[in-house]
Chains A and B, each alone.
Chain A
């Protein structure tokens, strides 16, 4: 029972990360019908912008000679997260504007190849030796870096004594922030004018354009929103597992894509459910069997979904039109 609960906690904390990244995939796919391959790398950039921002802001860990007060910790953690989300939003804008928009009228394969190119550019561009030396070292180079301690890790001893489950405030904050962001997104997509326009573009972008919806602007904002969510996911995961390197977005990115497909790509609530289900599935399967196959589980899920129900859990089954 203890093991079961432990896997539940771990699965949920991984699943929320997948869900946050999957939202970006699914929204972009909804409006553009494009798999934004570079999205996993935006997540990586998010973690790195958090890393640099905390250097600039001078975040002191709890073990510093002069440990920060509670108010300062909260302020700086919020500023780092918000700042990373803004930086990634700008990155998302730049990617859309300069790599995808010029190709929008071309064959879909062209955009896909470009997306792979952008993804590799970010991954390997970040692995180059630092060009800027001071005040910060950028790009970070291939060796992993340690993400600063934004918050002190407080293990919940009472929970552990009661149920035997090892849990800390990181898990709780991660869950709360992720769910808050998802609720906010849900509100934006289903209750605001922008969300209505976005759904219209996703339904049929040409007709939406004829109805006076500024399609380009909607697509741009979709990219910005998705990238900001990925940045938040990057920060949440980097706080809990502080080793970050330029390739660490690759596998979570692919798994989040699987989550988006599982939930029905293009479907916003589907991506959240898909992410959580995938996180839990991975944790339970790896926990009860051989954990060295962990990375293969997600792809197995993907193949099963595509064979059994290609539209995903919540997707609409579409008919091929000529």
Chain B
């Protein structure tokens, strides 16, 4: 019974989400397509970074490096298999199958990179970790810039435009479901314990390095997914897309939404992406605005807008929800957020 309900909780969002996404995709015009894709990609990035920076309380500044690994892996695969057709499938489905394969490879490669980076660096704490992950991000970029096979500074171009809204939507849903399932699991509890007090967690028998590395690997895998999506949306993959600035943008989203809050990350990814899109004419002020936002946020509300709470934990929403329950006399409240 318990297992069935778990399966249900993981699958249900997709059952509801997929038809909605396809309907949405049919309605949305081409002008908004790229904007919505970048919203989705930013949701994936912010929520996955939140697993490390928010849940675990570590501070990674190298998310863009893992994006790059994912983007290049998938780009290489789709380019190599551009002319290959699975004979038993119709052409359109075959293309999607190749893309799915490349996404899986992107996640695997990014996870591997995350493991290799995480193993040595997660023994460090706080600000040291920040610098080391930043360093690794730059090393990854520097290696790509020097590899002939990856097109050096000009990157890989002419990728097939495979990223659709439905794909990104599924990716974002998967990331959110992953984060939520993680947060309510044993693994998640261990991560929270590490965030609250690493020394105490270790004293209680939590294998801190192991849990941190696992969180890091999961987070990098999803960063790789986001990288693959963005590369196949703009049909291009260059080292310049994955600089330190890109990592900081994601950090701003996570910090603004609240370190540890999934809904906070989702909301701030949506708001920041759309807001910056609306302010496109003032491109030059964009990074200045990010910087000021960070400083003011830290001075006024260092825990971010939501802190570690989720949207449904907010006092005013919670009250309304409970009142509704009392009126309806339902029993859904008994299982509510822990």
Contacts and interface: CB of A to CB of B under 8 A. Distances in A.
Interface of A: 34-35, 99, 102-103, 106-114, 116-121, 123-125, 127-129, 250, 254, 257-258, 261, 290, 292-293, 295-296, 298-300, 302-303, 306-307, 310, 320, 322
A121 B292 contact: yes
Contact of B291 (A108, A118, A290, A298): A118
A306 B128 contact: yes
B302 interface: yes
B199 A117 contact: no
A124 B288 contact: yes
Contact of A306 (B130, B132, B287, B299): B132
Interface stretch (B86-94, B136-144, B157-165, B327-335): B136-144
B265 to A, nearest CB: 15
A110 B131 contact: no
Contacts of A307: 120
A128 B124 CA distance: 37
Contacts of A102: 299
Given A114-B298, A120-B291, A124-B287, A306 B124 contact: yes
Contacts of A123: 287
Q: Which of B132, B244, B291 has the most CB of A within 10 A?
A: B291
A109 B290 contact: no
Contact of B285 (A111, A128, A250, A300): A128
Contacts of A261: 128, 131
Nearest to B117: A303
Looking at chain B's contact residues, the main secondary structure is: helix
A300 B255 CA distance: 29
Interface string B115-134: 00000110010111011101
A257 B285 CA distance: 28
Contacts of B136: 299, 303
Contacts of B287: 120, 123-124, 127
Given A108-B127, A128-B285, A295-B138, A117 B302 contact: no
A42 to B, nearest CB: 15
Looking at chain A's contact residues, the main secondary structure is: helix
A121 B126 contact: no
A300 B248 contact: no
B142 A117 contact: no
Contacts of B121: 303, 306
B288 A109 contact: no
A59 B57 CA distance: 51
A296 B145 CA distance: 11
B246 to A, nearest CB: 13
Contacts, number: 116
A128 B142 contact: no
Interface residues of B, number: 40
Interface in B199-258: 199-200, 203, 244, 248, 251, 255
Given A103-B302, A292-B146, A293-B146, A302 B131 contact: yes
Given A292-B146, A296-B143, A303-B121, A108 B126 contact: yes
Contacts of A292: 145-146
Contacts of A302: 131-132, 135
B77 interface: no
Contacts of B23: none
Contacts of B293: 117
A1 B315 CA distance: 73
B124 A117 contact: no
A109 B131 contact: no
B284 interface: yes
B295 interface: yes
A295 B290 CA distance: 26
B294 interface: yes
Interface in B169-216: 199-200, 203
A254 B199 CA distance: 29
Q: Which of A258, A296, A320 has the most CB of B within 10 A?
A: A296
13 contacts: A35-B130, A108-B126, A109-B57, A114-B294, A116-B294, A117-B292, A120-B291, A123-B287, A254-B134, A290-B146, A299-B136, A306-B121, A307-B120
Interface in B297-338: 298-299, 302
Given A35-B127, A254-B134, A307-B120, A124 B142 contact: no
B99 interface: no
Contacts of A310: 124, 128
Contacts of A125: 288, 291
B192 to A, nearest CB: 16
Contacts of A290: 146
Nearest to A251: B138
A109 B136 CA distance: 20
B59 interface: yes
Q: Which of B134, B139, B284 has the most CB of A within 10 A?
A: B139
A112 B59 contact: yes
B284 A127 contact: yes
Contact of A113 (B120, B203, B292, B298): B298
Contact of A299 (B57, B139, B294, B299): B139
A124 B135 CA distance: 21
- 5 smallest beta-carbon distances between A and B, as pairs: A117-B294, A299-B135, A120-B291, A124-B287, A121-B291
